[in-house]
Amino acid sequence: MGAALFFAAACSRFSAQPELRVLVDSGAPAADYDPVSLKLTRDYFFCENLFSPLLGYSSDSELVSELAESFRWSGDEAVFSMRPGGKTGSGAPLDAYDAEFSFKRAFILGGTSYSFLSRMLCGADKLKSLNDACPGLRVRDGGRTLAMKLGAPKPYVFHLLANIAYGVVPRSSVDPATLKIRDYRATSGPYYVDADLGGGNMLLKANPAHHRCAPDMPRRVRIVGSPDYKTNDELLAMLSSGKVDYVMMGVVLKPESKAEFAARHGGYNIHFSRPLRMIYIIFNESGMKRLTREERFFIAKKLRELYPRRRPMTETPDQLFAMEGSLSKRQLEEVASLIKGRRELVIKKRVEGKRLFSYFWLDLEDIAKWLPGAVYADQKPNSERKNPPPLDIFLAGGDIGYQDDVGLVLYYLEQQIFGLGPAETEKWLAAYLAEPAKEARMELLRELQYRTLRDARTLPVGLLPYASLARKPWKFNYPAALAGDHLWRLRRN
């Protein structure tokens, strides 16, 4: 308690430091951001700075306490002791009742990725209101302790709860009728919204009562919204012109562009994550039927050749999961041989593709040589068709994981990259979650990945790191194995 009071006082004394101006490619208001509706990189950025989960990761990527001061197993219960003295940005106390409320709210409002934990804790019936019983969630010690009764120890749950999708949304911030967040000053994270200025512009302030508050972290953060489309050069010019001090990883996604900028201009620090961002091609049901397996492998092969030409920091992997659930040596050799193929093709079929233009708009002439029937479904006039045919291919990006990350597996199941139907997804997930041993879960994931790659349903195109840029004297202390712009980890020299 004494240490918490010391840091709160220290944060208050240093509140006059210059504000950090952060570029965000959006004009959305604060009300658009909620841990239960994460889609884009900027959604994660806001929620990871405004809300805190019970658990998190250290700068060395180790699982650590956040709002829960400690966590442990007691029989079949996961027990979380909340930090004493925790408060929201508006000064309301934070306790285990807020955590319980936040879980129930997520089970009501969230999608299918929350359903398995909801079933384990609350039963088979989906929660419809906060008044519905959830027997597996228990608050004890007058709000000091939260217990989750899970039937047996499930260590992967701790990693799951470190995901910001399970960030604690305080009771005092939510409209009880709609369950929407209405007060962004009453947040549980290191920052709160002091002013929403419109057009995506906001002023964030550090919460001096938060356990992550430090005197040399950014105390005032001005969000500079950029709602209109801008090229990478235009976005980086906002940094060199002095309009902003920080470019987050989701703005100017090419790490090479940020590296070149930092090399040309003095006075900037750059952070690179490990290669985390996987670009992959999904063959939808139409593509699986209309394109032969050889044609699907060939399309992936050609895109894998094109992608690194303009992105020299790109790796070209032969699997989607490099650590947890990675292929055996024999499986990897088989898949690599299938991707390489044995002959060149010209596929004259009409192939409907989404985001093919987004990722390869400078390579259309090359693509036309071997895929002359490519249709860029999300570009005009094709995007304005009233009854477009089904998509054959879809390009997307997502993170690979370096932990036993059930949340990531749930995300990819929801994205349907494995091509499982609803019943098969439920059956596979039930088997995966029932396995207490990590090695057994990884074997299930390995076989699912192998089948996905062998059948050319989803194939990797490229793997690259994320990068963030900060004007000196701000320096990074970010985990290399995790994506995110956690501004409270920045330090001022």
For residue 7, pLDDT over 70 is answered with: no
Phi and psi dihedrals of 242, rounded to 5?
Answer: 90, 5
Can you give the pLDDT at residue 116? 87
What is the residue-averaged pLDDT of the chain? 92
pLDDT digits (tens, 9 = 90+) for 368-390: 999 999 999 999 999 999 999 99
pLDDT digits (tens, 9 = 90+) for 280-295: 999 999 999 999 999 9
Residues in the chain: 493
For residue 365, pLDDT over 60 is answered with: yes
For residue 17, pLDDT over 80 is answered with: no
pLDDT digits (tens, 9 = 90+) for 242-273: 999 999 999 999 999 999 999 999 899 999 99
Can you give the pLDDT at residue 3? 47
pLDDT digits (tens, 9 = 90+) for 45-102: 999 999 999 999 998 888 999 999 999 999 999 999 999 999 999 999 999 999 999 9
Using the Cα atoms of residue 295, residue 296, residue 298 and residue 303 in order, give the sign of their dihedral: positive
Q: How confident is the model at residue 401 (pLDDT cuts 50, 70, 90)?
A: low
For residue 431, pLDDT over 70 is answered with: yes
Least confident of 115-124, 280-289, 366-375, 433-442: 433-442
3-state secondary structure the chain: CHHHHHHHHHHHHCCCCCCEEEEECCCCCHHHCCCCCCCCHHHHHHHHHHCCCCEEECCCCCEEECCEEEEEEECCEEEEEECCCCECCCCCECCHHHHHHHHHHHHHHCCHHHHHHHHHHHCCCCCCCCCCCCCCEEEEHHHCEEEEECCCCCCHHHHHCCCHHHCCCCHHHECCCCCCECCCCCCCCCEEEEEEEECCEEEEEECCCCCCCCCCCCCEEEEEECCCCCCHHHHHHHHHCCCCCEECCCCCCCHHHHHHHHHHCCCEEEEEEEEEEEEEEEECHHHHHHCCHHHHHHHHHHHHHHHHHHCCCCECCCCCCCCCCCCCHHHHHHHHHHHHCCCCCCCCCCEEEECHHHHHCCCHHHHHHHCCCEEECCCCCHHHCCCCCCCCEEEEEEECCCCCCHHHHHHHHHCCCCCCCHHHHHHHHHHHHHCCCHHHHHHHHHHHHHHHHHCCCEEEEEEEEEEEEEECCEECCCCCCCCCCCHHHCEEC
Domains of the chain (ranges plus CATH)?
52-173 (3.90.76.10), 191-267+472-492 (no CATH), 276-464 (3.10.105.10)
Q: How far is the CA of 118 from the CAs of 113, 136, 472, in angstroms?
A: 10, 9, 45
pTM: 0.91
Least confident of 11-15, 273-277, 402-406: 11-15
For residue 15, pLDDT over 70 is answered with: no
Angle between the N-to-C axes of helices 438-454 and 329-340, in degrees from 0 to 180, rounded to the nearest 10: 20
Can you give the pLDDT at residue 4? 47
Can you give the pLDDT at residue 482? 85
Q: How far is the CA of 256 from the CAs of 261, 310, 312, 365, in angstroms?
A: 8, 9, 7, 24
pLDDT digits (tens, 9 = 90+) for 329-364: 999 999 999 999 889 999 999 999 999 999 999 999
The stretch 447-472 carries a mean pLDDT of 96
The stretch 155-174 carries a mean pLDDT of 94
Residues 6+ apart with CB under 8 A from 423: none
pLDDT digits (tens, 9 = 90+) for 316-329: 999 998 777 899 99
For residue 1, pLDDT over 50 is answered with: no
Q: Do the Cβ atoms of 206 and 128 come closer than 8 Å? A: no
Question: Percent of the chain at pLDDT above 90?
Answer: 80
Peptide bond into 381 cis (omega under 30): yes
